[in-house]
Chain A
Amino acid sequence: MKAVVSVIGKDRTGIIAAVSGKLNELDINIEDISQTIMQEYFVMIMLTDTAKSKISLDELEDALRDAVGALGVTVHVQHEDLFNAMQRV
Chain B
Amino acid sequence: MFTQNEILETIDMLDNRHLDVRTVTLSLSLIDCIDSDAKKCNQKVYDKITRVAKRLVPVCDELAARYGIKIVNKRIAVTPVSVVGAASGDFIGLAKTLDRAGKALGVDFIGGYGALVQKSATDREQAFLKTIPEALSSTDIVCGSVNVASSRAGMNLDAIKTLGEGIKELAYLTRDDNSFGCGKLVVFCNAVDDNPFMAGAFTGFAEGECAVNVGVSGPGVVEYEINKHPDYDITSICELIKRTAFKITRLGQLIGTEAAKALNLAPGIVDLSLAPTPAVGDSVARILESIGLSKVGSCGTTAALALLNDAVKKGGVMASARVGGLSGAFIPVSEDAGMIEAARHGDINIEKLEAMTAVCSVGLDMIAVPGDTSAAVISAMIADECAIGMINNKTTAVRVIPVYGKTVGDEVDFGGLFGTAPIMRVSLGDPSAFIARGGIIPPPIHSFKN
Contact = CB atoms under 8 A, between A and B. Distances in A.
Contacts of A77: 68
A85 interface: yes
A43 interface: yes
Contact of A82 (B1, B8, B67): B67
A81 B254 contact: yes
Contacts of B68: 57-58, 61, 76-79, 82
B250 interface: yes
How would you classify the secondary structure of chain B's contact residues: helix, strand, loop or mixed? helix
Interface residues of A, number: 24
Nearest to B253: A85
Interface in B192-209: none
Interface residues of B, number: 21
A39 B227 CA distance: 20
Q: Which of A43, A77, A78 has the most CB of B within 10 A?
A: A78
A87 B247 contact: yes
A47 interface: yes
Contacts of A86: 10, 13, 247, 250-251
Contacts of B67: 57, 78-79, 81-82
A56 B65 contact: yes
B4 interface: yes
B11 interface: yes
A36 B4 contact: yes
A32 B1 contact: yes
Chain B CB within 10 A, most for which of A47, A56, A79: A79
Contacts of A61: 68
B345 interface: no
Given A58-B68, A81-B67, A82-B68, A87 B11 contact: no
A45 B15 CA distance: 17
B216 to A, nearest CB: 11
Contacts of B11: 6, 76, 78
B448 interface: no
A58 B65 CA distance: 6
A57 B11 CA distance: 15
A4 interface: yes
B196 to A, nearest CB: 19
Given A6-B7, A83-B6, A87-B6, A57 B251 contact: no
A56 B7 CA distance: 20
A13 interface: no
A34 interface: yes
A86 B250 CA distance: 5
A87 B247 CA distance: 7
A57 B8 CA distance: 18
Interface of B: 1-2, 4, 6-11, 13, 15, 65-69, 247, 250-251, 253-254
25 contacts: A4-B2, A4-B7, A6-B7, A32-B1, A34-B1, A34-B4, A36-B4, A43-B8, A45-B2, A45-B4, A58-B65, A61-B68, A76-B11, A78-B11, A81-B67, A82-B10, A82-B68, A82-B251, A82-B254, A83-B6, A83-B10, A85-B253, A87-B6, A87-B9, A87-B10
Nearest 4 A-B pairs (CB), nearest first?
Answer: A85-B254, A58-B65, A85-B250, A87-B6
